[in-house]
């Protein structure tokens, strides 16, 4: 593959520094903030975010036509061609289960283009620093008068900033992605080779005491690290991706830290809220699946493929349980909450599963949901 672009040197150096700091990383301290309601891990909004400000108009041409304009010292950024992105990487393989404890789908996984990947191609995020954010512009989430980093939202924004860099070539977007990766490593918890990104506030609506972990945020973080590696070639991000993937392999509801488990019916569940009574939140499951997909396609790790096929089997066997014919689909399978916002995200996710798996079953279910309530 082609070498990393010169403009990436700063970002690469920053990422290498992150890796050196990894053994001593700990949770970020909460900072005081005005009181506010507890937050749930909501997926990205459907509408596009605010665009960057309109650029300043170009200078008027010289009044003397015989004068040649001075050449510009800095060329304008140009989009990064897909051929410049890394598509494969060698990592220390994770040993797959000798016999998978969960059902496996019989699909042949497809490789999507960069533009077709989940989250890519949406409106460009603003480069302006949000008012309620840290010194690097990473937003806080306010909970009960304190401000925290929301790991899922931080990682999701990072993914979109990476895509903005690829689409525009503007290194400012890459910088924004790198500082979000740095925040995730700052709050990361290491456990037997796995990386977890904790929520440092309690969420009693799901019976979760801080710190708790979520397949939703683990999936977004996995996608971010994979995509940063694809753009920069920095092995530090590859190591972070591997550690995040390993977190999905720590199966079970008996562990202190877990985000995935196998039910008595042998379905592999990736839980947004891994509580004593898992609620099987649909959108959170699929965001986690998309992260495993990114990692599997980059590394072709057999353990990642096994986990991905297990997650696809769970969706093939259970996705219809979320459908409410003639109405909005269920958000989860415990409280049976209904939300048009999440219903539309479910439709989009099912269409993505069709692209990943090649199975038209997912697109037919997406069409049924769209007909139920668009």
The number of angstroms, rounded, from the C-alpha of 327 to the middle of its chain's C-alpha atoms is 29
Mean pLDDT for the stretch of residues 4-23: 44
Quick one: pLDDT at residue 2? 43
| Predicted local distance difference test score (pLDDT) of residue 255 | 80
**pLDDT for 161 beyond 70:** yes
Cα three-residue angle 154-161-110, rounded to 5 degrees: 95
Domain 82-122+139-372: assigned CATH number: 1.50.10.20
pLDDT tens for 92-138 read 999 999 999 999 999 999 999 999 999 999 999 999 999 999 999 99
Mean pLDDT score, 175-201: 97
Per-residue model confidence as pLDDT tens digits over 314-338 = 999 999 999 999 999 999 999 999 9
- Tell me if the bond preceding 252 is cis, omega within 30° of 0: no
Query: What are the residue boundaries of the structural domains of the chain, listed by start?
Result: 82-122+139-372
Residue-wise pLDDT tens digits, 35-83: 333 333 334 343 333 333 333 333 333 333 344 445 556 667 899 999 9
pLDDT over 50 (residue 33): no
| pLDDT at residue 17, as a whole number | 43
Q: What is the pLDDT of residues 247-284, one digit of tens each?
A: 999 998 878 899 999 999 999 999 999 999 999 999 99
Please, are residues 274 and 253 in contact by the beta-carbon 8 Å criterion? yes
Annotate 256-312 with DSSP letters as a single string.
SS-SEEE-TT--EEE-SS-SSS----HHHHHHHHHHHHHHHHHH--HHHHHHHHHHH
Quick one: pLDDT at residue 265?
A: 98
Q: Quick check: 3 pLDDT over 50?
A: no
- Amino acid 254: pLDDT: 79
Q: Please give the pLDDT value at position 256.
A: 87
Model confidence pLDDT, tens digit, residues 343-369: 999 999 999 999 999 999 999 999 999
Residue 73 confidence (pLDDT): 60
For 10, what's the count of Cα atoms within 13 Å in the CB-facing half-sphere?
10
241 has a pLDDT exceeding 60? yes
pLDDT, position 143: 96
Tell me the C-alpha distance between 227 and 241, whole Å: 9
Q: What is the pLDDT of residue 74?
A: 61
Render pLDDT for 207-237 as a digit per residue (tens, 0 to 9): 999 999 999 999 999 999 999 999 999 999 9
* Better-scored residue on pLDDT, 37 or 339: 339
Q: What are phi and psi of 296, to 5 degrees?
A: -65, -40
Q: What is the pLDDT of residue 77?
A: 84
Between the alpha carbon of residue 156 and those of residues 187, 221, 229, 242, 368, the distances in Å are 16, 7, 16, 18, 28
Tell me which residue of 311, 300, 303 sits closest to 357, measured CA to CA: 311
């Amino acid at each position: 593959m082609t070498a990393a672009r010169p403009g990436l040197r700063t970002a690469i150096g920053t990422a290498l520094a992150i890796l050196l700091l990894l053994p001593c990383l700990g949770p970020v301290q909460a900072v005081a903030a005005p009181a506010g309601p507890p937050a749930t891990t909501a997926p990205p909004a459907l509408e596009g975010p605010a665009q960057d400000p309109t650029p300043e108009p170009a200078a008027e041409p010289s009044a003397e036509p015989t004068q040649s304009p001075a050449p510009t010292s800095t060329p304008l950024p140009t989009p990064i061609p897909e051929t410049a992105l890394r598509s494969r990487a060698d990592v220390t393989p994770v040993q797959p289960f000798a016999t998978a404890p969960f059902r496996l789908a019989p699909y042949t996984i497809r490789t999507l283009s960069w533009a077709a990947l989940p989250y890519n191609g949406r409106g460009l995020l603003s480069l302006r620093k949000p008012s309620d954010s840290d010194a690097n512009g990473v937003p806080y989430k306010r909970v009960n008068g304190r401000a925290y980093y929301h790991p899922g939202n931080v990682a999701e924004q990072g993914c979109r900033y990476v895509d903005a860099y690829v689409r525009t070539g503007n290194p400012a977007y890459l910088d924004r992605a790198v500082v979000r990766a740095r925040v995730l490593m700052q709050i990361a918890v290491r456990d037997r080779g796995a990386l977890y990104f904790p929520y440092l506030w309690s969420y009693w609506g799901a019976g979760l005491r801080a710190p708790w972990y979520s397949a939703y945020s683990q999936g977004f973080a996995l996608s971010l690290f994979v995509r940063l590696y694809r753009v920069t070639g920095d092995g530090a991000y590859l190591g972070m991706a591997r550690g995040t993937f390993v977190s999905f392999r720590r199966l079970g509801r008996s562990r202190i830290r877990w985000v995935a488990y196998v039910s008595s019916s042998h379905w592999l569940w990736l839980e947004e809220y891994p509580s004593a009574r898992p609620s099987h939140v649909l959108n959170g499951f699929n965001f986690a699946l998309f992260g495993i997909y990114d990692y599997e396609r980059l590394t072709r790790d057999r353990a990642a493929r096994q986990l991905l096929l297990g997650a696809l089997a769970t969706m093939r066997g259970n996705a219809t349980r979320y459908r409410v014919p003639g109405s909005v689909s269920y958000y989860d399978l415990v409280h049976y909450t209904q939300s048009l916002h999440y219903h539309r995200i479910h439709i989009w996710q099912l269409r993505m599963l069709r692209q990943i798996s090649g199975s038209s079953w997912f697109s037919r279910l997406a069409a049924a949901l769209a007909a139920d309530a668009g």
